[in-house]
Structure 1
Amino acid sequence: MFTGIVEELGEIAAREDLSDAARFTVRGPIVTADAHHGDSIAVNGVCLTVVDLRPGEFTVDVMGETLRRSSLSDLSPGSRVNLERAMPANGRFGGHIVQGHVDGTGRVLSVSPSENWTVVRIGVPAKLTRYLVEKGSITVDGVSLTVSAVGGEGDDSWFEISLIPTTLNETNLGETQPGTVVNLEVDVIAKYVERLHLGQSTDVAGAK
């Protein structure tokens, strides 16, 4: 499990395309300081398994399914990525519950800087809108953020996030431009609540 508090802005050092998969070597001296083979590290919000280590770098294998469902397919050497190690059981819970399981991708529609923060509007798949509420939590490229506005309908649905200078400087969200594709993970609690509600509805219907 992760919390969406990015520990390091890493960089893709190498990419090897395989049959229906890809192997990435990621440069990240902070997250590799105590890493071991088999550990989980979130790369732009996607939970990946360390398969090889060398000083300051780690290698991960990404299956075709993950490449198709996330923005990792767009990564190339030099791409900067948000990195977070899995949270230890005694760690400080700084963001919100993040599984590292991407629910879909969104596309940046606009970036509106102001004096003290930047508002980013992101187009979201219609199937995810039911999990978005103003002041609720969402993970964008592995960053735990608060939804500041929700709007649109169907395929034109969108939400906004407001980014402070620290987030802009210490994550790759500071580099986003209109058209950028980002990984989205909605609040897992919202998904469980929905599932529970559907289960209750089914029980009631079956009892009639």
Structure 2
Amino acid sequence: MFTGIVEELGEIVAKAELGDAARFTVRGPLVTSDAGHGDSIAVNGVCLTVVEVVDGSSFTADVMKETLDRSSLGALHVGSTVNLERAAALNSRLGGHLVQGHVDGTGAVISRSPSEHWEVVRISLPDSIARYVVEKGSITVDGISLTVSALGIDEQGDYFEVSLIPTTLALTTLGSAAVGTPVNLEVDVIAKYVERLQARG
């Protein structure tokens, strides 16, 4: 379980193709500082398991084909910058919202509208998860806990907007994501539980 508060910008330093999987080596000195085999680290919002710690500043993780196909991790390459977060500790504050690290779908950056102190980013929203997203609700974009500031539909389909403060712009990959960049989306799990309970009621 995570909170969606990015701890560090990391870098993909190696990627080994394994046929139906891939092994990534990710540099992130902060999140690696207390990591060990079997620990969970979110990489762009995807919960990955540490296989090995390398030189105290990097870790390796295996990613199966399903995850590569269903998230934006398949598009990562050596040199890609990624958002990193260690699993939440039960004795810490919950700064964002409950994030599982299980990607529900992918969207893409549609537009960016900067203003003096923040920037509004519009992101496409797949049909399959649009019903779970509400204005002023929480959504995770590439592992970042964000508040939905607007919802809409255009000729391409559903979209949502998030307003990014300077800290988010400076300390996460979303700050420099160009129009067209694919992003991992995870909706608030509570919405999915409510839908399931209603369907069985």
Q: What is aligned with 1:38?
A: 38
Structure 2: which 5+ runs fail to align?
none
Q: What is aligned with 1:63?
A: 64
Per-residue deviation at 1:53?
0.5
After TM superposition, the score normalised by the length of structure 2 is 0.98
Q: What CA distance in whole angstroms lies between the structure 2 residues aligned with 1:137 and 1:73?
A: 25
Q: What is aligned with 2:199?
A: 198
What per-residue deviation string (whole Å, max 9, x for no partner) do you get for residues 170-207 of structure 1? 0001111110000000000111111111111xxxxxxx
State how many pairs are aligned: 200
Q: What CA distance in whole angstroms lies between the structure 2 residues aligned with 1:168 and 1:47?
A: 22
1:79 matches 2:80: yes
Q: What is aligned with 1:53?
A: 53
SS of equivalent to 1:157: strand
Identity %: 69
1:25 matches 2:25: yes
1:189 matches 2:190: yes
SS of equivalent to 1:152: strand
Q: What is aligned with 2:147?
A: 146
What per-residue deviation string (whole Å, max 9, x for no partner) do you get for residues 80-105 of structure 1? 00000001111211100100000000
Q: What is aligned with 2:118?
A: 117
Q: What is aligned with 1:172?
A: 173
What per-residue deviation string (whole Å, max 9, x for no partner) do you get for residues 30-85 of structure 1? 00110010000000000000001122000000000000000001101110000000
Q: What CA distance in whole angstroms lies between the structure 2 residues aligned with 1:134 and 1:46?
A: 24
Q: What CA distance in whole angstroms lies between the structure 2 residues aligned with 1:154 and 1:118?
A: 23
After TM superposition, the score normalised by the length of structure 1 is 0.94
Could you tell which deviates more after superposition, 134-143 or 172-181?
A: 172-181
**Hey, which bits of structure 1, 4+ residues long, moved more than 3 A?**
none
Q: What is aligned with 2:90?
A: 89
Structure 1: which 5+ runs fail to align?
201-208
**154 and 190 in structure 1: CA distance in 2 versus 1, 3 angstrom threshold:** farther
- Amino acid of the structure 2 residue aligned with 1:12: I
Equivalent pair of 1:126/1:155 in contact (CA under 8 Å): no
Equivalent pair of 1:126/1:153 in contact (CA under 8 Å): no
- Amino acid of the structure 2 residue aligned with 1:124: L
Per-residue deviation at 1:154?
9.0
SS of equivalent to 2:32: coil
Q: What is aligned with 1:3?
A: 3
- Amino acid of the structure 1 residue aligned with 2:51: V
Equivalent pair of 1:25/1:60 in contact (CA under 8 Å): yes
- Amino acid of the structure 2 residue aligned with 1:38: G
Q: What CA distance in whole angstroms lies between the structure 1 residues aligned with 2:2 and 2:155?
A: 30
SS of equivalent to 1:169: helix
Q: What CA distance in whole angstroms lies between the structure 1 residues aligned with 2:94 and 2:198?
A: 27
Q: What CA distance in whole angstroms lies between the structure 2 residues aligned with 1:33 and 1:154?
A: 47
Q: What CA distance in whole angstroms lies between the structure 2 residues aligned with 1:154 and 1:39?
A: 43
Per-residue deviation at 1:155?
5.4
Equivalent pair of 1:41/1:85 in contact (CA under 8 Å): yes
SS of equivalent to 2:30: coil
